[in-house]
Structure 1
Amino acid sequence: MDQKVEQPVEATLTTPATSADYIEKALARAYNSESLRVESFHSEAITQTGENFCSVIYRLKVSYRKSENAPLEHGNYIVKDLIPVMAELGSNEKLMFEEVLPVMAEILDKAPSTLGEKKLSADCLYVERFKNKELYLLEDLGALGYVTLNRYIGLSAEDARLCLQKVAQFHAASMVLLHEQPSLVSNLAPSHFSKGLEDAFTHVLIVKGTEFAADVVDGLPGMSSIASKMRAQLPEEYGKRIRAVVDPKNSAFQVICHGDLWVNNIMINQEENKAIIVDYQCCFVASPAIDLMLFFYTSLQLDVLLHQRENLLKYYYQCLCETLAACNYSGSMPSYEQLQDEMQRCLFYGYYATVCELPICCASKEASKDFTAHTFGNEEAIKAKRHQLFDNERVLQMLQATLGHFEEQGILETL
């Protein structure tokens, strides 16, 4: 067998993701052909530091025959190999790919073609989970013309609209599913923040991240009082507020939130003017405003956030309602006022996204070079990394432009 494999630093010696046996087994099950044989494959690690913190990503090109005398076929695939610490924690991704997303796809497929491109995600051909290991074999969206956009500068209003159309489709299909098959969706684990700031990773991400950001804000002209309020909320008030935001019982209407909706997790086919969502590890049931807040405050260019936010929200709502109607949703149709109220209720999530997520999402190429999940577990390394993350013009501009608004809205108060 002709085999070329380039292993990344993060991959372990026991990783089967690029072995001939794994690929053959996965494809044989995916195509329901026990006699399938792989004749050649090429594997290339495409994991980017500063972007893929939870997994190692491989791109595969495979030639195979489904039986001994069958014609030679060729396929392009992605293998997502969760790093052991993340696989041990567990996620909702396996349930999403095996049970939830296929039903959501059926819901959308029944809708008229006027909805346009209905594909929500890459096709998942095979999932394998065992101790400290979780592997996914997916179709390669890159081979279908999809690319990720520039995370350093953020999205234009035009690209944001394309992304929001797909987000609205995803949310709408999930609302139909929640209404028609609530027992299926009930198997999704709640938000990682439903327990507040208890676990070690969240403490590093939020508590230490906000403390560092407050020190940076303290040095900005006229913002020392804001920095003091940021510190005063940690950790009790912060934990209480973020738990309230992600609690689905507090939402006027519920969707399946993607949970990690930023520019790298929405791929674009610009030639065909369509988008698709990737990475379903963090899905949970809650308010759609959670996804929108994270997307707006991590992924939009600052000028777009400040001057196009309302127009983009209206466009999202229009797409949501059109999709619900096309899918014959028989539940209560949410009003635009309810969506606005949810955006206001979940504004604290926008604050979290700006302070804790944005610096990571738009990390410079230099800051990304040695930035992995392991960085968060090393106190000195993450402290040094944060100096790089906050030495970023886009981050500083966002802090100066948004923290005053958060303060005016009472987001920084300790109740």
Structure 2
Amino acid sequence: MDSDLKPLSLIEDISHHWVEKMLSQKFGNPVTLHSWKYESPETPEGFMSEIVFLKVVYSGSDKEKVQLSLVVKVLPRELERRKVIALGGLDKREIAFYKFVNTQEFKDMCSKNGIKLQVPEVYYASYFNGEITIVMQDLNIDKYKSGIVKEGNNLAQTKVAVQAIAQLHAAGLAYIEKHGEAGSLADLAEEFKFTCFDEYFIRNLNTLAEMYEGTPLAKSMKSLIPYTKDILDMRKRYPLLRTVVHGDYWAGQLMYSEDGSNVMMIDWQHCNVDNPSSDILSMLFMSSHPSVLEEHLEEVIQSYWESLSRNAEKFGVSLDITYDQLRKNVDDLMLFGFMMVGISIPEFLGGGSLTPERLLGYVNFLERKSIVSKYVEMMEKERHV
């Protein structure tokens, strides 16, 4: 997807010439652009990007007019947001992901084994001189809808989500088995640094302590503050497999089909090569109803495992772990999952992606399982050895 067509700095930079050239490069043949316009979404996009819906009418060599609806995604215009994104390398990672999955070798590998990854079709993805632009299919046209449910996603929605990401994990394992973490995967294999995450997590643990003041939960939340950096590094402490992971896997990055049986995965700014358990736990703590954690955790992990095993078999990849090892790894990384929602509390609560009741449900889950106290006790022993 590299080209001499430069990415846009702002949405207002979209032009007739840019759109026509972008479509010509996508289809490999000159097209004639008859009309185009863009519309902003009803609700503003999040911290990481600005998007618009682009409606075009074009024709190719057969002169037949075709209508097309696309999504155009650029960096947010606020300089402070751009600085945070650049500091974490988030501006390049999504481009690197789409370039990786759209290499001919990777596409052939998936096609040969009957795999169609649940990611949108990309028309253009490029990074240049601190700017990015991604143009992809408009999933709304196929009646896909956002997966955010502020009260929490149910069991069926959670299982569909973990089954989808398991397919990507299996594909990543197949590529790494053949090529290692080099070639088209090299940019994603660079270590992902949680820029500002520690700062956000500490701030929000203090917020939780204030919310639960006068209860044992307040003390529990404060007890994690000295160990936030250790929680950030939990995936190194408890390794499992290394494959391509989403890195920020929650309902806000999912579009569900009308009947709820399928999802498309979007927003790959945090994509990297790491432990796949992190994606399972992100989904559970950032999106699922607490009852899914409390009552159906085994079922969710089993659903993920079945999808991972089935897709790995299609690729001819032998998994070097057992279900029991996966199950234990998820337990070991519980606080990593909690951290993922913990760093986003003000944004989630303020943006209607999370209710205080659901957040309390996650904290109560940790308390009932003694996850916080056992972890703090372990870390204190280590520091005094």
Q: Give the TM-score normalised by the residue count of structure 2.
A: 0.84
2:365 matched residue in structure 1: 401
Residues 231 and 335, structure 2, Cα contact 8 Å, conserved in 1: yes
The 5 Å alignment of 1:18-29 reads 18-29=14-25
Quick one: structure 1 residues 101 and 138, their matched pair in 2 at CA, closer, same or farther if it must change by over 3 Å?
same
Task: For 1:395 and 1:98, locate their aligned partners in 2 and report how far apart those are by CA, in whole Å.
Answer: 36
The 5 Å alignment of 1:376-395 reads 392-395=356-359
Quick one: structure 1 residues 135 and 17, their matched pair in 2 at CA, closer, same or farther if it must change by over 3 Å?
farther
For 1:29, what is the secondary structure of its paired residue?
helix
Quick one: structure 1 residues 287 and 412, their matched pair in 2 at CA, closer, same or farther if it must change by over 3 Å?
farther
2:109 matched residue in structure 1: 107
Asked if residue 140 in structure 1 is aligned to residue 135 in structure 2, the reply is no
Counterpart AA for 1:109: S
1:258 counterpart (246, 249, 271): 246
For 2:285, what is the secondary structure of its paired residue?
helix
1:7 matched residue in structure 2: none
Structure 2, unmatched stretches of 5+, are: 1-7, 77-81, 381-385
2:175 matched residue in structure 1: 177
1:297 counterpart (285, 289, 311): 285
Residues 55 and 69, structure 2, Cα contact 8 Å, conserved in 1: yes
1:410 counterpart (347, 371, 375): 375
1:316 matched residue in structure 2: 304
Residue 325 (structure 1) shift: 0.7
For 1:57, what is the secondary structure of its paired residue?
strand
Asked if residue 125 in structure 1 is aligned to residue 89 in structure 2, the reply is no
1:353 matched residue in structure 2: 340
1:202 matched residue in structure 2: 197
Residue 228 (structure 1) shift: 3.5
Quick one: structure 1 residues 156 and 72, their matched pair in 2 at CA, closer, same or farther if it must change by over 3 Å?
same
Quick one: structure 1 residues 265 and 204, their matched pair in 2 at CA, closer, same or farther if it must change by over 3 Å?
same
Quick one: structure 1 residues 211 and 105, their matched pair in 2 at CA, closer, same or farther if it must change by over 3 Å?
farther
Asked if residue 160 in structure 1 is aligned to residue 158 in structure 2, the reply is yes
Residue 412 (structure 1) shift: 7.2
1:46 counterpart (28, 31, 41): 41
Residue 276 (structure 1) shift: 1.5
Quick one: structure 1 residues 134 and 13, their matched pair in 2 at CA, closer, same or farther if it must change by over 3 Å?
closer
Quick one: structure 1 residues 13 and 228, their matched pair in 2 at CA, closer, same or farther if it must change by over 3 Å?
closer
Q: Deviations over 1:226-273 (max 9, x none)?
A: 144133x1xxx3213322x243x8523222110010001121113372
Task: For 1:253 and 1:190, locate their aligned partners in 2 and report how far apart those are by CA, in whole Å.
Answer: 15
For 1:158, what is the secondary structure of its paired residue?
helix
Task: Report the more deviating stretch, 146-155 or 157-166.
Answer: 146-155
Percent pairwise identity: 18
1:66 counterpart (50, 53, 60): 60
Residue 87 (structure 1) shift: 5.2
Asked if residue 267 in structure 1 is aligned to residue 265 in structure 2, the reply is no
1:374 matched residue in structure 2: none
Task: For 1:401 and 1:250, locate their aligned partners in 2 and report how far apart those are by CA, in whole Å.
Answer: 21
Residue 281 (structure 1) shift: 1.2
Task: For 1:136 and 1:398, locate their aligned partners in 2 and report how far apart those are by CA, in whole Å.
Answer: 35
1:79 counterpart (57, 72, 77): 72
Counterpart AA for 1:301: H
Residue 39 (structure 1) shift: 1.2
Q: Give the TM-score normalised by the residue count of structure 1.
A: 0.78
Quick one: structure 1 residues 25 and 100, their matched pair in 2 at CA, closer, same or farther if it must change by over 3 Å?
same
Counterpart AA for 1:106: D
Structure 1, unmatched stretches of 5+, are: 1-11, 194-198, 369-388
Residue 408 (structure 1) shift: 4.2
Residue 332 (structure 1) shift: 3.9
1:282 counterpart (265, 270, 274): 270
Residue 70 (structure 1) shift: 1.5
2:383 matched residue in structure 1: none
How many residue pairs align between the two structures? 360
Task: For 1:22 and 1:141, locate their aligned partners in 2 and report how far apart those are by CA, in whole Å.
Answer: 22
Task: For 2:258 and 2:10, locate their aligned partners in 1 and report how far apart those are by CA, in whole Å.
Answer: 38
Residue 100 (structure 1) shift: 3.5
Task: For 2:136 and 2:187, locate their aligned partners in 1 and report how far apart those are by CA, in whole Å.
Answer: 23
Counterpart AA for 1:223: L
Quick one: structure 1 residues 47 and 293, their matched pair in 2 at CA, closer, same or farther if it must change by over 3 Å?
farther
Query: Once superposed, what is the RMSD of the aligned Cα atoms?
Result: 2.7
Task: For 1:299 and 1:18, locate their aligned partners in 2 and report how far apart those are by CA, in whole Å.
Answer: 34
Residue 291 (structure 1) shift: 0.8
Task: For 1:58 and 1:45, locate their aligned partners in 2 and report how far apart those are by CA, in whole Å.
Answer: 5
Counterpart AA for 1:241: I
Residue 414 (structure 1) shift: 4.2
Task: For 1:352 and 1:13, locate their aligned partners in 2 and report how far apart those are by CA, in whole Å.
Answer: 33
Residue 362 (structure 1) shift: 5.3
1:5 matched residue in structure 2: none
Task: For 1:203 and 1:341, locate their aligned partners in 2 and report how far apart those are by CA, in whole Å.
Answer: 25
Task: For 2:156 and 2:260, locate their aligned partners in 1 and report how far apart those are by CA, in whole Å.
Answer: 14
Residue 109 (structure 1) shift: 2.1
Task: Report the more deviating stretch, 143-152 or 163-172.
Answer: 143-152
For 2:372, what is the secondary structure of its paired residue?
helix
2:327 matched residue in structure 1: 340
For 1:285, what is the secondary structure of its paired residue?
strand
1:214 matched residue in structure 2: 209
